[in-house]
Chain A
């Protein structure tokens, strides 16, 4: 029978995707669950498996085309007789990772700042003036959605729109001599990163605080454990779980850091999902360790390893990159001293780990050689002030400096 291959729904907010590559050609035979096509969305790149075994008879959507969820991408001719309606998306349950997914409703504590309830971003109200100005200036509704509002309930006022228009005013276009430049179109991921980063800088009042940690104890613990760990777990023990576990300990003491801003409400999460920035060839992705606070040290190490491996091999599911409450990034991995990261929206803080280097430090008027690392915390000054963010960072430093090898057995 003839079976439609449909663009599946890949996570809550994904409404469209781009066909990057067909892994089979028309006329090829495919087995059920064999990778059929590579799809790129603004969240993640992923491979879509064949919904059934058969012959790929026709490709409808060609490489580079962007389509809505639910669109027919191709047709398969299967051996089976018609039994049920066109095969829809792969069942979601099969692909959802097993990490605990806390039920948001019960676990979220809402702290109102002022009385006015914030309007949802969607269906936002625009005054007649704002609408007519937007129309006259050729500002689309989508662009309007991105304008931060300073009026009542974050309403976009005339002044807000004027500021936006001022910033948007086109720069003079520059002509390049064709032979002396290479023009590279931005891919889906590049564009998504660009949009997210600019939006974050527009949204949050970024401040970065830097501290230095003596990580000699963590280094010693890793040295002691790494061989046995590799033998037992099958992958190398990195420093990342050391930093992440100390950050989680500190987050438990400072729950306000583990929050997001929704209109005039600060949403404090009672679950900790830590995003881990993973560098890829074409860009960067931040998969999320769900329920990170409930994992043992080894569980955490395994989850981080699993996510980064899958990120590098394009095996992430869109839900893997959702729901983070705090993010850790590691510019030190490339030997750099420290970074000033941009907040991963809608979170309010991000921790950057600097390279671990041996340095001569003064301890009790003696010079000692210690393994040192700079930690920098970027945070949203709308929600967090310097004192609190600084105390939180110091707490991480303290946990690292007092790192107890007993913690890794937990």
Chain B
């Protein structure tokens, strides 16, 4: 087993899938010769050639449109958005075409769109967003948001092999900050399965992406005060793993939802509503949320810090919830 960074794990997943299946190919802005803005596709062009690692014009709509066409013809495209923020340019292609074509015509669209998302990198309002909420609402899509290298690799491989369009949100902040031992060779992390990353009995944190790490740090902080938090990494946002979520609610009876996306209408809203609906009688406290403020992501570093959730804010919410 080798220690890989999050971005190396993503690259390894693509490499292995391209080796395994010649239908898999990559397209996006600067993904070829340059190796991608974040170097996620570095050396793939050299290995697999210009027919399988395709540089495109700066047009997200064209990238996704071309990828859908290829998928309909039996290919397995992996399209890269340079920043998840600009996925909105391809919104119509994704929402009206990719998501609905199997329902309307029985035509599968085995497409993966990799979208580097998230803040904390002083990128400002167009290079920091977490647009998972837009796609979470769309039947016909799958949405994935890994938080660790091992999951990043296994989930990307599972997404490439899935016959549905999958939006794969990879968090920019984690690219080179998070490392761990990753199995070499072929394994997948199945879509739709959450993972308990920290066992605890007093309350459950439901989270994903970069906030998993902030939540684990917060859980360690409050552990000294006698609060034993369970931390669940949702991993796949659509479809959510209600089985594990319900088990956790029944076990700990208190729920804190943490996401970096802004609060209103975020994943947390759906989580809270369904938990209240299905497990009301197991709740010993209100369901609480920690999320970004309902504003654009600020440029200014101090303002961005104020805007984003962090271990301190999460720990405060944990204390509050435990005391209730």
Contact = CB atoms under 8 A, between A and B. Distances in A.
Interface in B279-312: 280-285
A127 interface: yes
A128 B282 contact: yes
A151 B322 CA distance: 9
A129 B283 CA distance: 5
A155 B324 contact: yes
A86 B215 CA distance: 70
Given A129-B253, A158-B253, A152 B284 contact: no
Interface centre among B282, B284, B324 (most CB of A within 10 A): B284
B20 interface: no
B323 A128 contact: no
Interface in A124-139: 127-132
Nearest to B281: A132
Contact of A151 (B281, B282, B283, B324): B324
Interface residues of A, number: 11
A130 B284 contact: yes
A324 to B, nearest CB: 34
A157 interface: yes
B281 A129 contact: yes
B281 A131 contact: yes
Contacts, number: 26
Nearest to B324: A152
Nearest to B276: A128
Interface string B66-96: 0000000000000000000000000000000
Nearest to A151: B324
B321 to A, nearest CB: 10
A333 to B, nearest CB: 47
A114 B199 CA distance: 33
A128 B280 contact: yes
Contacts of B253: 129, 158
A128 B277 CA distance: 12
Contacts of B281: 128-129, 131-132
Q: Is the interface of A mostly helix, strand, loop or mixed?
A: helix
Interface string A145-168: 000000110010110000000000
B323 A127 contact: no
A131 B324 CA distance: 16
Contacts of A131: 281
A152 B286 CA distance: 12
Nearest to A152: B324
A135 to B, nearest CB: 9
Nearest to B202: A159
B324 A129 contact: no
Contacts of B284: 127-130, 157-158
B282 A132 contact: yes
A128 B283 contact: yes
A14 to B, nearest CB: 35
A155 B280 CA distance: 18
B164 to A, nearest CB: 36
Interface string A254-265: 000000000000
Nearest to A132: B281
A157 B203 CA distance: 13
Nearest to A129: B284
Interface in A202-255: none
Contacts of B323: 151-152
Nearest to B250: A129
Interface string B18-61: 00000000000000000000000000000000000000000000
A157 B324 CA distance: 8
A132 B280 CA distance: 9
A157 B253 CA distance: 10
Interface string A305-323: 0000000000000000000
B36 to A, nearest CB: 49
Contacts of A155: 324
A145 to B, nearest CB: 18
A128 to B, nearest CB: 5
Contacts of A128: 280-284
Contacts of A157: 284, 324
B121 to A, nearest CB: 38
A157 B283 CA distance: 10
A127 B279 CA distance: 12
Interface string B228-268: 00000000000000000000000001000000000000000
B276 to A, nearest CB: 9
26 contacts: A127-B283, A127-B284, A127-B285, A128-B280, A128-B281, A128-B282, A128-B283, A128-B284, A129-B253, A129-B281, A129-B282, A129-B283, A129-B284, A130-B284, A131-B281, A132-B281, A132-B282, A151-B323, A151-B324, A152-B323, A152-B324, A155-B324, A157-B284, A157-B324, A158-B253, A158-B284
Top 5 A-B residue pairs of the complex, sorted by shortest distance between their CB atoms: A132-B281, A129-B284, A158-B284, A127-B284, A128-B280
Interface of B: 253, 280-285, 323-324
Given A129-B253, A152-B323, 6 more contacts: A128-B280, A129-B284, A131-B281, A151-B323, A152-B324, A158-B253
